Amino acid sequence: MYRKSPVTLGLLSCYNVYAVCRQILLFALGISLYFVVLLLLFQLLKTMGEKKRKSKSDSHRVTFADESEKTNQKHSSKTMHPSMLRQRADSPEEGAGMPFLRTPHKNHDPYIKVGDTLPPIILYEKCAPPIPINIKDLFQNTRLGILFGLPGAFTPVCSTNHLPGFVKDYDKFKHRGVDVIACVTVNDPYVSTAWGYYQNATNKVKILADVLCEFTRSIGMDTNMYAQLGGIRCKRFAMILENGVIKYLTVEDNPQKTSCTMAGHVLEALDNRYHDARNDNPLSAWYFHRRSLNLPPFN
DSSP string, 191-220: HHHHHHHHTT-TTTSEEEE-TTSHHHHHTT
Taking the C-alpha atoms of residue 8 and residue 28, their distance in angstroms, rounded to an integer, is 30
Catalytic residue among 14, 21, 127, 158: 158
For the chain, what's the residue count? 299
Cβ 217 vs Cβ 99: under 8 Å: yes
Taking the C-alpha atoms of residue 118 and residue 180, their distance in angstroms, rounded to an integer, is 15
CA-based max dimension of the chain:
148
Say what the alpha-carbon torsion angle 277, 281, 282, 283 is, to the nearest 10 degrees: -130
Taking the C-alpha atoms of residue 247 and residue 140, their distance in angstroms, rounded to an integer, is 13
Helix (H) / strand (E) containing 230: none
Q: Is 14 a catalytic residue?
A: no
Residue 128: CB atoms within 10 Å:
8
The two counts, helices (H) then strands (E), for the chain are 12, 9
Torsion sign, CA atoms 26, 28, 31, 32: negative
- CA 209-144-142 angle, to 5 degrees, is 70
Taking the C-alpha atoms of residue 251 and residue 147, their distance in angstroms, rounded to an integer, is 12
Burial of 208 (0-12, 13-18, 19+ CB in 10 A): buried
Residues belonging to the active site: 158
